[in-house]
């Protein structure tokens, strides 16, 4: 039994990499019935494949006309479908939005790519770093010497998967109100640009310099940065507001009068050096005891082993362990309809008969698909 605020929502996911599976995970965690279309063939499930959790897998030979028809039949009863191929791939498979929307006019068809469905780069390969590079985001992140990729959080997951999930749900609301589906062109470059809205506002207002580590939120300010402790570990300090800054100086024992000029950019580098020296006198644990949970705006910088053990994360059960794998729990939280991890990552084709049967295919239909080679042998055969 699925649970969460999206219970009853039916979604078809065409298997992909990175942000596609993450979007499917988000929808599944909140209760949506997500059926993932995988390429037919051997494929074992791994408990560590966290972003594949919670949905059912149907393995299809997408070059087989019977498989194409199967996908279209699934789309007929789906609320939404999403894919992450280069523009034109789904059309060549006979599964493009024009065909799908004729079969189901209320369908919301999500298309996630790095560059979008049109534009000079639309057919070019790329990765997260490339997509955020043309938005101004990558240039703003890093050291003074060079831009540094912020993992693949800004493009793939922030600008891609989250915007796709947002777009799909907005499209479903519209379809339920009007009876009209539509196509969602979700480009990671568009999403990353959208995430930069506040910084373009800073730029327009004269509050942003085109230089890394020279601004309020990019590590340029001594009161918004990370500092190394006596034991080599790090802490994060974000004491922007005057009252929080005053508390920082109190907790660190800094009495240098030059710190009074908090917002004087010309002094930030010197003040950072002095604050770094103060922080280096104690261990991370000691600073956490002194400043943790206060209005300094402080937190220890934790690695992936340490984060699940932090008292705040433990209290909120932010991380869970399933199948021996520690992983983030569903987010956000709902008071009346809490989400849940709906199941482990599936093996390819593990739910051919179960999922197709639940979505309206008869036993005879499923046997015909097997005979045509569109799906594989029964699981366990």
Give 262's DSSP letter.
T
Q: Are 112 and 81 in contact (CB under 8 A)?
A: no
Q: Are 154 and 137 in contact (CB under 8 A)?
A: yes
d(CA 360, CA 371): 19
Instruction: Rounding to the nearest 10 degrees, give the CA dihedral for residues 174, 192, 188, 154.
Output: -110
- What does the DSSP assignment read for 2-39? --STTTT-EEEEE--STHHHHHHHHHHHTT-EEEEEEE
Give how far Cα 336 sits from Cα of 28, 112, 129, 166, Å: 17, 31, 39, 21
d(CA 183, CA 167): 10
Q: Are 242 and 288 in contact (CB under 8 A)?
A: no
Give the catalytic positions in this structure: 127, 156
Q: Are 105 and 179 in contact (CB under 8 A)?
A: yes
Q: Are 192 and 117 in contact (CB under 8 A)?
A: no
- For residue 9 the two structure tokens come to 């929502």
According to the 3-state scheme, what is the secondary structure of 117-162? CCCCCCCCCCCHHHHHHCCCCHHHCECCCCECCCCCHHHHHHHHHH
User: Burial level of 381, CB count in 10 A (0-12/13-18/19+)?
Assistant: exposed
Instruction: Rounding to the nearest 10 degrees, give the CA dihedral for residues 222, 228, 230, 236.
Output: 70
Helices first, then strands: H and E counts in the chain: 14, 11
């Amino acid at each position: 039994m699925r649970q969460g605020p999206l219970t009853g929502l039916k979604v078809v996911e065409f298997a992909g990499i990175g942000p596609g599976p993450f979007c499917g995970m988000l929808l599944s965690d909140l209760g949506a019935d997500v059926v993932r279309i995988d390429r037919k063939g051997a494929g074992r499930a791994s408990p560590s494949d966290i972003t594949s959790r919670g949905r059912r897998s149907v393995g299809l030979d997408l070059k087989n006309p019977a498989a194409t028809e199967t996908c279209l039949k699934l789309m007929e009863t789906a609320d939404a479908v999403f894919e992450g191929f280069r523009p034109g791939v789904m059309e060549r498979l006979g599964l493009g939005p024009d065909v799908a929307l004729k079969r189901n006019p209320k369908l919301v068809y999500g298309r996630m790519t790095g560059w979008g469905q049109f534009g000079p780069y639309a057919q070019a390969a790329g990765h997260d770093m490339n997509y955020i590079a043309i938005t101004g985001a990558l240039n703003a992140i890093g050291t003074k010497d060079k831009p540094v990729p912020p993992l693949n959080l800004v493009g793939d997951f922030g600008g891609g998967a989250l915007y796709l999930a947002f777009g799909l749900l907005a499209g479903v609301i519209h379809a339920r109100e009007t009876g009209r589906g539509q196509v969602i062109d979700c480009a990671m470059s568009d999403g990353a640009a959208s995430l930069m809205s506040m910084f373009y506002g800073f730029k327009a207002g004269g509050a942003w310099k085109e230089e890394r580590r020279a601004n309020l939120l990019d590590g340029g300010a001594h009161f918004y940065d990370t500092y190394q402790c006596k034991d080599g570990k790090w802490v994060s300090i974000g004491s922007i507001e005057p009252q929080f800054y005053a508390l920082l100086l109190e907790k660190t024992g800094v009495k240098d009068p030059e710190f009074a000029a908090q917002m004087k950019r010309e002094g930030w580098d010197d003040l950072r050096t002095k604050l770094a020296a103060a922080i280096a006198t104690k261990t991370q644990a000691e600073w956490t005891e002194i400043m943790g949970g206060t209005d300094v705006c402080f937190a220890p910088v934790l690695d992936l082993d340490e984060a699940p053990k932090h008292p705040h994360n433990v209290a909120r059960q932010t991380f869970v362990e399933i199948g021996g794998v520690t992983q983030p729990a569903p987010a956000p939280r709902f008071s009346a309809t809490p989400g849940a991890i709906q199941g482990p990552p599936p093996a390819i084709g593990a739910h051919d008969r179960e999922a197709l049967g639940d979505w309206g295919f008869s036993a005879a239909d499923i046997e015909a698909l097997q005979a045509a080679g569109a799906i594989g042998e029964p699981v366990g055969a």
